Amino acid sequence: MKPRPVIAGNWKMNMDPLEAREFFRAFHPEFSPGRHPTLLIFPPFVTLAAALNARPEDPRVELGVQNIFWEESGAFTGEVSAVLARAAGATHTLIGHSERRHVFGEQDEDVARKVGAALKAGLVPVVCVGETLEERRGGRLQEVILRQLDAVLPVLSNDADATFILAYEPVWAIGTGETATPDDASQAHGMLRRRLQERLGDVRAADTPILYGGSVKPDNAAELLRAPEVDGVLVGGASLDPASFLAIARAGMPLT
Ligand code: PEP
């Protein structure tokens, strides 16, 4: 049986504090006893406090941030450290989202430093990897996603207790309405899982959730979540609507 699915919502640069309160007025997951999905929501920094106050009082709904800087404190105007994010109530952080890599020029080495900072501060990193359409068409899928994973593995293998999540997000599927097929997702997740097995061992590889992200919607979530090696989904646009996000969560595992 698959481990319990992780259903994550990336609000990106959307949702002010008032809108977050409205979201949670309409978002009431009712979990069945026993197995249940983990729900993670990543609001913008400025909305984190409002979201924490408004979210359901349930440890199965956790909040994270979309990015961190690797230094702990100091003269880094405009940046937020993992330590600050943790103190503000985040439990997770996205790292290396394709928009960070492609819009803001984040490099593999930056991603690795951020993963180290997150772990040190007690945040669970959700490390995003994925190929562009050009790289995929050029037959470079495996090379690209394993290069991105390899960049963070030394940090993760140094800390045997480090818990982390991987997200395979093909760049061509993010915000485009194009979705990878369940087979495409399984294939890429299989490559990532095998690398984790080689470098971190079978137990940690099996314990690490690998999420699929890229135009996940209520009508395609169930088949993606059923696909072998897919342990959850990272949802952008459809996570802004409480009904859609709940429907996706229900596709992962029946809520009551
Ligand atoms: C994302 O932002 O990580 C994402 C997958 O976005 P969307 O679901 O809108 O494609």
Is 19 domain-assigned?
yes
Tokens describing residue 119:
């772990």
Higher pLDDT among residues 181 and 30, named by residue:
181
Arithmetic mean of pLDDT, 174-200: 95
Is 198 domain-assigned?
yes
Confidence of residue 246 (pLDDT cuts 50, 70, 90): very high
Atom of ligand 1 nearest to the CA of 167: 3
What residues make up the domain containing 218? 6-252
Lowest mean pLDDT among 45-49, 129-133, 177-181, 189-193: 177-181
Which among 163, 158, 72, 146 has a CA at the least distance from the CA of 108? 146
Arithmetic mean of pLDDT, 31-48: 86
Catalytic, 92? Answer: no
Atom of ligand 1 nearest to the CA of 128: 3
Atom of ligand 1 nearest to the CA of 217: 8
Is 111 domain-assigned?
yes
Mutate to test the pocket of ligand 1, among 67, 94, 99, 169 (most ligand atoms within 8 A of CB): 169
Is 190 domain-assigned?
yes
Is 1 domain-assigned?
no
Is 53 domain-assigned?
yes
Is 200 domain-assigned?
yes
- Residue 114 in this model has a pLDDT that exceeds 50: yes
- Residue 224 in this model has a pLDDT that exceeds 50: yes
Domain count of the fold of the chain: 1
Ligand 1 centroid to Cα of residue 235, in Å, is 5
Per-residue confidence (pLDDT) for residue 1, from 0 to 100: 46
- Residue 43 in this model has a pLDDT that exceeds 90: yes
Q: What CA–CA distances, in Å, run from 238 to 4, 167, 168, 235?
A: 21, 17, 17, 6
Q: Is the Cβ–Cβ distance between 40 and 62 less than 8 Å?
A: yes
The count of C-alpha atoms lying within 13 angstroms of the C-alpha of 113, restricted to the half-sphere facing its C-beta, is 11
The CATH number covering residue 94 comes to 3.20.20.70
Confidence of residue 33 (pLDDT cuts 50, 70, 90): low
Q: Is the Cβ–Cβ distance between 195 and 150 less than 8 Å?
A: yes
- pLDDT > 90: what percent of the chain? 86
pTM for the model stands at 0.95
